[in-house]
Structure 1
Amino acid sequence: MSVLQFTDKGIYCAAGDFYIDPWQPVERAVITHAHSDHARWGNRHYLCHHDSVPLLRLRLGADISVQGLPYGETINYNGVTISLHPAGHIIGSAQVRVQQGNETWVVSGDYKVENDGLSGQFEPVPCQVFITESTFGLPIYNWQPQAIIFSEIREWITENQRAGKNSVLLAYSLGKAQRLLYNLKDAGIRFLAHGAIAIPHEVLLAQGYPLPPVQRITPDTPKADLKDSLIIAPPSAAGTPWMRRFNPYALGICSGWMQVRGHMRRRNADAGFALSDHADWSGLLQSVKATGAEKVFTTHGFSSAFARYLTENGIPATEVKTEFGNEDEESTINETGDAANTETPQQDS
Structure 2
Amino acid sequence: MTELVVQRPEGLYCPPGDFYIDPWRPVDRAVITHAHADHARTGHGHYLAAAAGEGVLRQRLGEITLQTLAYGERIAHHGVEISLHPAGHVLGSAQVRLSHGGEVWVASGDYKVAPDPTCAPFEPQRCDVFITESTFGLPIYRWRSDAELFAEIDAWWQANAELGRASLLACYSFGKAQRILAGVNAAIGPIVVHGAVEPLNQAYRAAGVALPATQLATEITDRAVFKRALVLCPPSAAASTWARRFGDVGTAFASGWMQLRGARRRGGYDRGFVLSDHADWPGLHRAIGATGAQRVIVTHGSIPVMVRYLGEQGLQAGAFQTEYGDEVLETEAA
**Same fold, judged at TM 0.5 (above):** yes
1:43-192 to structure 2, matched below 5 A, reads 43-61=44-62, 63-184=63-184, 186-192=186-192
Contact 1:47/1:69 (<8 A) preserved: yes
Equivalent residue letter for 2:52? D
Structure 1 residue 54: deviation in Å? 1.6
In the other structure, the counterpart of 1:270 is: 270
Unaligned stretches of 5+ residues in structure 1: 334-349
Deviations 1:141-165 (A, max 9, x none): 0000111100000011111122332
> Alignment partner of 1:22: what SS?
coil
- Partners in 1 of 2:67 and 2:315 — Cα distance? 35
Contact 2:158/2:188 (<8 A) preserved: no
In the other structure, the counterpart of 1:341 is: none
Q: Find out whether 1:42 has 2:43 as its counterpart.
A: yes
In the other structure, the counterpart of 2:34 is: 33
Paired residues in the alignment total 332
1:206-221 to structure 2, matched below 5 A, reads 206-218=206-218, 221=221
- Partners in 1 of 2:230 and 2:327 — Cα distance? 23
> Alignment partner of 1:195: what SS?
coil
- Partners in 2 of 1:329 and 1:103 — Cα distance? 35
Equivalent residue letter for 1:194? H
Equivalent residue letter for 1:46? Y
In the other structure, the counterpart of 2:13 is: 12
- Partners in 2 of 1:73 and 1:183 — Cα distance? 31
> Alignment partner of 1:172: what SS?
coil
Runs in 1 of length 4+ with deviation above 6 angstroms?
330-333
Contact 2:255/2:274 (<8 A) preserved: yes
Contact 1:185/1:212 (<8 A) preserved: no
Contact 2:173/2:196 (<8 A) preserved: yes
> Alignment partner of 2:167: what SS?
strand
In the other structure, the counterpart of 2:279 is: 279
Contact 1:301/1:326 (<8 A) preserved: no
Contact 1:303/1:320 (<8 A) preserved: no
Deviations 1:218-277 (A, max 9, x none): 165321121221100011112211111112001010000001131011111111000000
Contact 2:172/2:329 (<8 A) preserved: no
- Partners in 2 of 1:28 and 1:95 — Cα distance? 17
CA RMSD of aligned residues (A): 1.6
Contact 1:89/1:112 (<8 A) preserved: yes
In the other structure, the counterpart of 2:229 is: 229
- Partners in 1 of 2:239 and 2:118 — Cα distance? 30
In the other structure, the counterpart of 1:256 is: 256
Q: What is the TM-score with the length of structure 2 in the denominator?
A: 0.96
In the other structure, the counterpart of 1:345 is: none
Equivalent residue letter for 1:114? A
Structure 1 residue 326: deviation in Å? 4.1
> Alignment partner of 1:298: what SS?
strand
- Partners in 2 of 1:319 and 1:311 — Cα distance? 12
- Partners in 2 of 1:22 and 1:163 — Cα distance? 48
**124-133 or 51-60: bigger deviation:** 51-60
Structure 1 residue 300: deviation in Å? 1.0
**268-277 or 183-192: bigger deviation:** 183-192
> Alignment partner of 1:236: what SS?
helix
In the other structure, the counterpart of 1:322 is: 322
> Alignment partner of 2:177: what SS?
helix
Equivalent residue letter for 2:102? N
Q: What is the TM-score with the length of structure 1 in the denominator?
A: 0.92
